[in-house]
Structure 1
């Protein structure tokens, strides 16, 4: 009995798809466009957040030491803080050489300058949000003269990262709602075209779920195919973008791995299936409630 019911549902779904091929193709096209827009926005938001977080995490606190400071003791206290990811001691000579490399001053001239720079400890934190607190903690340690970091830029990057996450969530919800509305409208047209069949099924005692099932499968089919087309387009475009950036703009880094792209593509297909099913469910519930 269950087998025959499933066979009927699948047969009805396939028959409806073939009978309303133009409507089905239009629905798949709408779904593909909607999921592509949603996926493109998701990729953009993910990578913007990644870049902002990457830059914020690379921020360094320069802990300058006094001449008579115990560098080992200061570094041990800093590294013992759970908010600190890593520390690096830089001697006066090393700091001067780095400065010379940055400014292009020859080594022989550096010897004339002497050692004007103090010893320092570079500190990187686990969470960029803790930069200010760790810098304040470091500045209060014995033997530390000051502990500056690029506060304005870092704080802007952290704020940008948070803004991207919040705006991404809000716009994502709006895009999902718009996609479901499109699917719901398309399925409603399908139901209207088959209203006599639906009415006959109701008259012979078919349950609402038995009537819904072929339409839900149809919505899921449209969503899966639309999601598949969207994932193919976006993955190919993303791979091309990565190759372009690697060859021309190496300083711009985006997330790129086979695992990431596979999960992303499967996520789009699953999202398409969910949108299609949910849109069909909304339409059938609304129609059956009126009959």
Structure 2
């Protein structure tokens, strides 16, 4: 009997405040989408770090005609200098730091440049002799970059030692900033959702103050009177959480694993199934915020 009564009151409240309930659903949907987007972005950052840090290389660029480094004062790298650098990299003293060493000639560097900047107008103006030859060094531990840098930064024939991890760190910094911005927007939107839930419950309680007065007179418990109001906000927030989950899944499935995966096949993107890891948290977050907001509002505006 009480369960049927609670369901009846819940349905009545949803019908009376349909516009406000839809507003709660939409605001919760937008705010939880931002929360989920920040979470997915962090998952993507962690996955990219694990993927690229295992493949990070140190590039030892050799001197060319236009090099300005002090170690290139004698001009372009000589065959003897190149052989000495390669011998040091492949020596036993560096075996604990260096995993593999690959030589890239100027012609190969031009080919990679043309592939990378195929749509750029400058691609036809660059020639092989303008690009440096280099040794691409895979490290056993990417954190040991300084060992290579200190050993070769002033070696004759070496122009510069470049750590690809620096570029990755810059990229990940930008992505972390984007994640923080998304979380900030999500926090503002969640606050709006909480205030909207509180307003909706307050109006609902005010419009049914006569019914709740009668219920108090006939001895209805506090839980029975308040439960329909609380469920209104919780159901609206849960629907918003489900919509947010569906949107994030669609973005991960069609955008990340579809379009972007085809455009950047060498990049490891998170799978759409990883959205399911965030789904319970998003729905729970929406429901808890709506429930707490409803209870606090009822304590103030609905004396039982």
| Same-fold status (TM-score > 0.5) | yes
Is residue 2:290 matched to residue 1:276? yes
Residues 211-268 of structure 1: CA deviation (Å, up to 9, x unaligned): 3333223322222233334434553455443476258744696845342233344444
Alpha-carbon distance in structure 2 between the residues aligned to 1:226 and 1:117 = 56
Is residue 2:100 matched to residue 1:88? yes
Q: Which residue is equivalent to 2:120?
A: none
Q: Which residue is equivalent to 1:78?
A: 97
Is residue 2:90 matched to residue 1:66? no
Q: Secondary structure at the match of 2:186?
A: helix
Residues 71-116 of structure 1: CA deviation (Å, up to 9, x unaligned): 243543326xxxxxxx4322x4x65674364267xxxxxxxx9xx9
Checking the alignment, whether the CA contact within 8 Å between 1:224 and 1:269 is kept in structure 2 is: yes
Unaligned runs of 5+ in 2: 62-83, 115-128
Q: Which residue is equivalent to 1:138?
A: 148
Unaligned runs of 5+ in 1: 1-6, 80-86, 105-112
Is residue 2:174 matched to residue 1:160? yes
Q: Which residue is equivalent to 2:139?
A: 123
Alpha-carbon distance in structure 2 between the residues aligned to 1:225 and 1:282 = 21
List aligned pairs for 1:36-55, cutoff 5 A: 36-46=29-39, 48-49=41-42, 54=48
Alpha-carbon distance in structure 1 between the residues aligned to 2:164 and 2:247 = 40
RMSD over aligned CA atoms reads 4.0
TM-score normalized with structure 2 length: 0.65
List aligned pairs for 1:1-291, cutoff 5 A: 8=2, 10-46=3-39, 48-49=41-42, 54=48, 57=53, 59-62=56-59, 66-69=85-88, 71-78=90-97, 87-90=99-102, 92=103, 98-99=108-109, 101-102=111-112, 117=133, 119-123=135-139, 134-141=144-151, 145=155, 147-150=161-164, 153-203=167-217, 208-236=222-250, 238-242=252-256, 245-246=259-260, 249-250=263-264, 255-288=269-302
Checking the alignment, whether the CA contact within 8 Å between 1:61 and 1:135 is kept in structure 2 is: yes
Q: 1:210 to 1:44 in 2, by over 3 A?
A: closer
TM-score normalized with structure 1 length: 0.67
Shift of residue 187, structure 1, vs aligned partner: 1.2
Residues 53-79 of structure 1: CA deviation (Å, up to 9, x unaligned): 638746532257725526243543326
